[in-house]
Chains A and B, each alone.
Chain A
Amino acid sequence: DIVMTQSPDSLAVSLGERATINCKSSQSVLYSSNNRNYLAWYQQKPGQPPKLLIYWASTRESGVPDRFSGSGSGTDFTLSISSLQAEDVAVYYCQQYYSNPYTFGQGTKLEIK
């Protein structure tokens, strides 16, 4: 199984500041034949299901604000929120869909400082 490790486990950022969450996979999730990274990011607010933010490591899902961006390739990935808003308080998960079984990171809890 591919192990997904996120850092940090929790993060407190001031409103309007940048938040950065990291995700590392135990093996590459880059598929060489199409040069795509099989990596997604989700946001989960309390009592709600996860919401897809980013797929292919950097493609924003329709309707997701452009302050959310994803980057990285191979085994190292980053989710950035350029200017933190109050509604961004949530737990964020990365997920690889490169191989069976799909696996998720342990989650990063984002709070307001």
Chain B
Amino acid sequence: QVQLQESGPGLVKPSETLSLTCAVSGYSISSGNYWGWIRQPPGKGLEWIASIDQSVTTYNNPSLKSRVTISLDTSENQVSLKLSSVTAADTAVYYCARHKTTTFYHAFDIWGQGTMVTVSS
């Protein structure tokens, strides 16, 4: 079965870059689906961050402006996220998820368990 596992540092200092990886097992990220990142601040709702497909077509949430970089590593079957110039407002659980089909315009059908990132000095 398809599984996604996020990993990364649990603590990042303000103004630094947050780097996360999502390891995908049971499915090739080159199969055509889009892959996305979504975050959830403690006790709050969900915010979509960005998505990417194997052709490296990317969609970013404009609210995060140019701070976001999303990428694929097909050799490692991983999806990565970098978020620069972090502040306390970026403290959240970060999820990776698969779009249900090969189009960006679809729901997320499989989610990782999430990884908590705290921004603090």
Taking beta carbons and an 8 Å cutoff, which residues of A are in contact with B? 1, 38, 40, 42, 48-52, 55, 61, 93, 95, 97-98, 100-107
Contact = CB atoms under 8 A, between A and B. Distances in A.
Contact of B45 (A1, A38, A105): A105
Interface of B: 45-48, 59, 61-63, 95, 97, 100, 104-109, 111-114
Contacts of A49: 95, 97, 111-114
Given A50-B95, A52-B100, A52-B107, 16 more contacts: A48-B113, A49-B97, A52-B108, A55-B100, A55-B107, A93-B46, A97-B105, A97-B106, A97-B107, A98-B105, A100-B59, A100-B61, A101-B62, A104-B48, A107-B45, A107-B46
A95 B38 CA distance: 12
A101 B111 CA distance: 19
- The A contact surface, by secondary structure, is loop
Given A101-B62, A101-B63, A95 B46 contact: yes
A40 B97 CA distance: 14
Residue from the set A1, A42, A49, A106 with the largest chain B CB neighbour count within 10 Å: A49
